[in-house]
Every structure is written in structure tokens, then in C-alpha cells.
Structure 1
Amino acid sequence: MSWSLPALLQGLHKGIHSRLHTAREVAGHPVLKGDAVETVWLGMLSDYLPERYRARRAVVVDSNGAFSHQIDIVIFDRQYSPFVFHQDGLDVVPAESVYAVFEAKQIITAEEITYAQDKAASVRALYRTSLPIPHATGIADPKVPHPILAGLVTLESSWKPPLGDSLTKNLGARQGEHALDLGCVAAHGIYARNGDGGYQVEETAMAATGFLFELIARLQTLATVPMIDVRAYARSLKA
């Protein structure tokens, strides 16, 4: 047997694409379809992200008691985060531990982009604590909380061409806390926000694999999460 890296990468994409297509064809009810799509993307991220990360359907909470919307995919730290709550099949994750949030849908449309942007803003609006960090030679300054990545992953596009001006125009219509940084249309390619707020698209036959690699590269630039102030959360014990 001879090994081939391109074949391995293509196989990863084909597996995701096939499962997304099956979810669309088999799951009859819209809610079931949505759950099936989330499961496919969560499965890929759980299998291939480094162990320091977790990917779950979750709600995000801050130390002031404010909550985000329910998010299809939250990528968060599990190495340094001291707690994650589990409630009725849903995780509740402290805001400080969040690296990225994604919505997972069947088809990318203008409405779904707006929906994902609102979800992202609900997380980014939360307050994040950050304490000084003790180390072997002293105490480091608190880390400035990193930007939280956000995006939308789908199987198909509602536009022709799938990754054309209609896509980038809708993505770029809202910036700041609503901006989507990275996404995948598994049947066609990936899109990514650059430093000036514009979007680059890449048509590729291995979109899911390309998305995974770009996501990991961007997660690497975020380094570790800030040191959470657990006592700030503990104040809710007196409420």
C-alpha cells in the first residue's frame, strides 16, 4: 500500500461532503436536518482539532450573568477553562474560554448570513475578565482578550456563481461585532475575511479540508485564552 497526502486530504473532504448531502436527503423535518448538519460539522471538528479545543453546541455566559444566543458550534478552550456547565444536552461556556463560533446550515443565503452575524454579535458583546498571569519568574500582565472568530458553514450556496459578488456583498454588509471571518460552502469552496474587511474566496474541490486548515491556522494566531476571574463568576452565588 502506498500513502498519498493529497488522497488523504481529499478523502477527508469527501467524507464531510457525503455526510452533509445525506443529511439533506434523509432528514425530512427542517429541525432534524439542522441537527444532522450540526452533527456533521461538530464531528469533523472534534476529530481533527487539537485536544486543547472543544467544539460543542452551546450558549455562552459572562460573569455579569448575560447570555448569548444558542450557537450551533462553539469552539472553546478546555485546557485552561475551569468550568463548563452541561444542561439538557447543551453546554454553557464562559465567555473567556471562547475562540470561535459558527452557524451550520444547509444553504448559504442573505438571511442565513444575517442570522449568523446576529449570533456572532451576541457572543462578542459579552464581558470577558482577564487576570494577571503568575509564572516562574513573576507575574505577567493580563492578556487582552483575543478577537472571537465567527462564521457560517453550509453545503450549498443560493447564488450563481456560488462564491460570487452576491456572497461577498452580503458578507461585507455588516462589520464590527457582526463580521463573519471564515466559512465554507462544502460543495464549492471557502471564504475568508482579510485585514481590511474585504473577503477572499477560493473555489476548491476540497472545501471542507481547506476550511479546517484555515481555521486551525487562525486559531494558532489567537494563542491561549485569558486567565479567567473565577471569583467574578462566584459573585452570582450571592444573588
Structure 2
Amino acid sequence: MAEWSLSQLLSSLHEDIQQRLAVVRKSFNHPGTKGDASENVWISLLETYLPKRYQAAKAHVVDSLGNFSQQIDVVIFDRQYSPFIFTYENETIVPAESVYAVLEAKQTADASLVAYAQEKVASVRRLHRTSLPIPYAKGTYPAKPLIPILGGLLTFESEWNPALGLSLDKALIADLEDGRLDIGCIAAHGHFFFDQSTSAYSFVDENKPATAFLFKLISQLQFSGTVPMIDIEAYAKWLTK
């Protein structure tokens, strides 16, 4: 009986993602088709390996005031405590309270794409989110503080090949407020993340970037906690408008 190798398993996971992204890049000429296929590769990875409390999908995000985000390539949202997710004509609309992370997925990272991803992330973070007190057998827990929504960038390559160098850092630090990108993966080269303790970006150049990114994302989601209790009545008010 062959011996299992954890190192080989983790390496194979990354190689599968990188190969699928490479096939998308080479096989599809239409930008829209290529973009959709790239997003599906990342969504498939997250849907397979994230805990089942999370779901990943291309979606818009809406708040109880009726504001919508831009369309987000990959939204990671709660499916354990969130009472409703809208789907209409293959479009998914997620209430702002249920969102854990939003990520932009493209083929190649450059300064303009970073700015575009920051704008997309900001369109979600600026939405209004409700949080209600949570009843239990002996009383009521206070309303939970809103969890931070993670922002991220997913690409196959980078114009700063072969390393993630200073140019990427310069683009990332252009917006450290609503558009801040907390985490990202450039599958051909490495991954990066924003270190809250130093208020600076760390760039990791390794041979299994997709796997390393996945582990880092799961770790950050663990520390995010649980989404707040949504005020359904705030959304129900739109029934009378």
C-alpha cells in the first residue's frame, strides 16, 4: 500500500488550481468568457475547501436601505445564520450582514486592477449593516459588533513577474481605508496579506501559492467570528414601498 504524503497532497492542490487557471488563459479568447471561467476556478476551490458555514458565489451585496454594491466576482458569505439570499435569473444578491469577504478575480495583476479591486471592495464595506440583540433562554445577549469584511485579489499572473516587489506594495497602500485589500493570491508567484500589527503588507514567494493563500484565508476567517443577527424587519419595510 502506497504511503500518504501530506506535502504531495498540498502541492497537488496548488498545481490543480494553477493548471486550471493556465488552461483558461490559453483556451478562451473572449474576455467575458475568460473572466467567468477564472472566477469559477476560484469559487470551486473555496466551495470545496472552506467550512460549510461559508458559501462562495459571484454576487451583488445589498443593504436594508436599498443600496447595492458593484458586482463582486467572489463573495464569501454565511449560510448557517443568514436567513435569506436572493437569486433571480441566475443572479445572486446577498444581504450585507451575511458577508465575510469579497474578492476580485482576474487574469493578471497590475496597478489599474488593484485600484479597480479596491473600488469594488469599498462598494461593499460602505453598505449599511444591522445587528440585533440575540435572545437566549435566560435573557438577551447585546448586539454583536460588526465583523470586518475582508477584501482580496485573486489572479493567475502579475505584471511585476517574477516577484511581488515594491510596485505591488505601492498600488496596495494607495487605499488602506474602505478599499483595503487584506489578502491576495497570484497563483504563478505567491500570496500577500495585510499585517494589522505592523500596518504593512507581507509578500510571500513560495512554490504552493494557491494552497498557502487558502490556509491564510481560512485563518483570517476564523478570527472574523460570526456574522451579526440580521434585522429582517429592516428589509421587510421594502415590501410596502
TM-score bucket (shorter structure):
over 0.9
Which residue of the partner structure matches residue 23 of structure 2? 22
Q: CA separation in 1, counterparts of 2:188 and 2:137?
A: 49
| 1:57 counterpart SS class | strand
| 1:176 counterpart SS class | coil
Q: Unaligned 5+ residue runs, structure 2?
A: none
Aligned-pair CA distance for 1:160: 4.1
Alignment-mate amino acid for residue 180 of structure 2: A
Which residue of the partner structure matches residue 191 of structure 2? 190
| 1:101 counterpart SS class | strand
Which residue of the other structure, out of 209, 223, 238, is the alignment partner of 1:236? 238
Alignment-mate amino acid for residue 225 of structure 2: A
Aligned-pair CA distance for 1:88: 2.1
CA deviation vs aligned residue, 1:149-184 (integer Å, no higher than 9, x gap): 001100101014430000111111111101000000
2:122 paired with 1:132: no
Q: 2:72–2:102: 8 Å Cα contact kept in structure 1?
A: yes
Aligned-pair CA distance for 1:136: 3.0
Q: 1:106–1:154: 8 Å Cα contact kept in structure 2?
A: yes
Q: CA separation in 2, counterparts of 1:132 and 1:29?
A: 49
TM-score by length of 2: 0.98
| 2:115 counterpart SS class | helix
Alignment-mate amino acid for residue 69 of structure 1: Q
CA deviation vs aligned residue, 1:24-80 (integer Å, no higher than 9, x gap): 000111111101100100000000000000000000000000000000000000000
Alignment-mate amino acid for residue 119 of structure 1: K
| 1:178 counterpart SS class | coil
Aligned-pair CA distance for 1:230: 0.2
CA deviation vs aligned residue, 1:188-230 (integer Å, no higher than 9, x gap): 0000001143100000110000000000000000111000000
Q: CA separation in 1, counterparts of 2:74 and 2:91?
A: 11
Q: CA separation in 1, counterparts of 2:105 and 2:27?
A: 17
| 1:82 counterpart SS class | coil
Which residue of the partner structure matches residue 207 of structure 1? 209
| 2:153 counterpart SS class | strand
| 2:237 counterpart SS class | helix
Aligned-pair CA distance for 1:18: 0.2
Identity %: 53
Aligned-pair CA distance for 1:137: 2.8
| 2:47 counterpart SS class | helix
Alignment-mate amino acid for residue 125 of structure 1: R
2:59 paired with 1:49: no
Q: 2:162–2:189: 8 Å Cα contact kept in structure 1?
A: no
Q: 1:175–1:197: 8 Å Cα contact kept in structure 2?
A: no
| 1:177 counterpart SS class | coil
Q: 1:172–1:197: 8 Å Cα contact kept in structure 2?
A: no
Q: CA separation in 1, counterparts of 2:136 and 2:214?
A: 33
Q: 2:130–2:228: 8 Å Cα contact kept in structure 1?
A: yes
Return structure 1 stretches of 4+ with deviation > 4 angstroms.
none
Which residue of the partner structure matches residue 70 of structure 1? 71
